[in-house]
Homo-oligomer: A and B are copies of this chain.
Amino acid sequence: MPEGETSVAIDAVETPLHPPTRVLLAPGPSELDPEVLRAMTLPPLGYVDPAMLRIFDELKALLREAFQTTNEFAIALSGTGTAGMQAALCNTIEPGDAVVIGTMGYFGERLAMMAERLGAKVTRVDAPWGTPLDADRIRDTIRKVRPRVVGVVHGETSTGVVQDDIADIAAAAHEVDALLIADTVASLGGHPLDIDAASIDVCYSGSQKALGAPSGMAPLTLNERAMERVRKRKSPVSNFYLDIPALEKYWYQGQYHHTISAPLVYALRAALLVLHHEGCEQRWARHQRNFAAFRAGIEALGLTILAAPQHSLYTVAGVLLPDGVDAGDVRKALLDDFAIEVATGLGPFKPRMLRIGLMAYGSQVHFVLRLLAALEDVLRARGHVFEAGAGLAAAQARWQTP
């Protein structure tokens, strides 16, 4: 290549890097406990070092606790939450399979799109964005279609809606011998979930949300019923990188498959230990409490959260902005003037919704206060009228309510 060309570009590189310090209150990646950051600088290990394989055993136990399962198979994929979705589908679907996907937002849509790309005949059951799926409608569809696989989202990141009745959907799937896949990327570690009680067969998540690790690993668990299905496939999984039988040989017998990232493994372990020491019940309660205070603050400013309280995740909120206030503009102001990262809406809600994540280390009183105070300033500057401090006071009042 022309030497000069590259050099010019690279001379502009700031070295070393000084990224701005942000408060990460979007629906992921979320704030990291300092212990998690520190873990990444521990001495790296090779991918089959006996010490690494011992850490795998610890991770399996810690992941089972997070998933609330007794499944033997519990690992973390070397990829993000999207890799978790890809793995759940590509291992269980064979081309031509009938599949039922429930959609109530962007990630349900993504499930359907991915299943179609894998050659499945997909029947969709759609709920309007902002509400959960109707379990009766799904059951009827499952009885009619008799699919091999049913996929639903437990916590829909795009809307802040939770699907609390997955046990009913799982029961319908099992009537016709289908596997039930549940996406818990936005819920695991922050919103109550017991996947064994719900009879979920395949469950995946991402490391970077309510689990409180950096992005890059995707927790995944399958029960024995799902493992049997994967083992009895007619054809091997076309995606070798995410092939569960090969990953099982790696995580359970130390047989090389890929070079796992030691820093990410250390960070995930540290994050799961934080969860273990806090306890799932306490952690869910903390998320619920801080989310309720945030909702009270938002409502005191005259705004609404898309999901009704009874269908609302404790981790992610879709805040609807006043008419005439642009979500992209508010997002930019929060980032530029307050160093707070939030997200805009996805799909139809892009221009009029802010998406807020209060997850893991980020679900703390002081982060909620900082966000509400900044939002008050930004909204007031854009002509929205409310009593100064109303959001903060309402949140505080909510925390003080037993």
Contact = CB atoms under 8 A, between A and B. Distances in A.
Interface in A229-283: 236-242, 256-264, 266-267, 269-270, 273, 276
SS class of chain A's interface: helix, strand, loop or mixed? loop
A381 to B, nearest CB: 21
Contacts of A43: 19-22
Nearest to A242: B241
A259 B117 contact: no
A293 to B, nearest CB: 23
A109 to B, nearest CB: 12
Contact of A264 (B55, B65, B216): B216
B266 A17 contact: yes
Contact of A240 (B10, B29, B46, B114): B114
A51 B19 contact: yes
Interface stretch (A74-82, A123-131, A366-374, A387-395): A74-82
B82 A241 contact: yes
B28 A259 contact: yes
A175 interface: no
A90 to B, nearest CB: 7
A119 B238 contact: yes
Interface stretch (A34-42, A141-149, A304-312): A34-42
Bin the interface of chain A by size. 35 or more
Interface stretch (A56-64, A163-171, A295-303, A315-323): A56-64
Interface in A144-195: 194
Interface in A70-124: 70, 78-83, 85-86, 90, 110, 113-114, 117-119
Interface in A1-37: 1-2, 5-6, 9-10, 12-13, 15-22, 24, 26, 28-29, 32, 35, 37
A237 B17 contact: no
Contacts of A37: 40-41, 263
A262 B61 CA distance: 27
Contact of A214 (B17, B28, B240, B262): B262
11 contacts: A2-B70, A15-B273, A24-B44, A28-B259, A29-B262, A47-B215, A80-B260, A82-B258, A117-B236, A208-B259, A261-B264
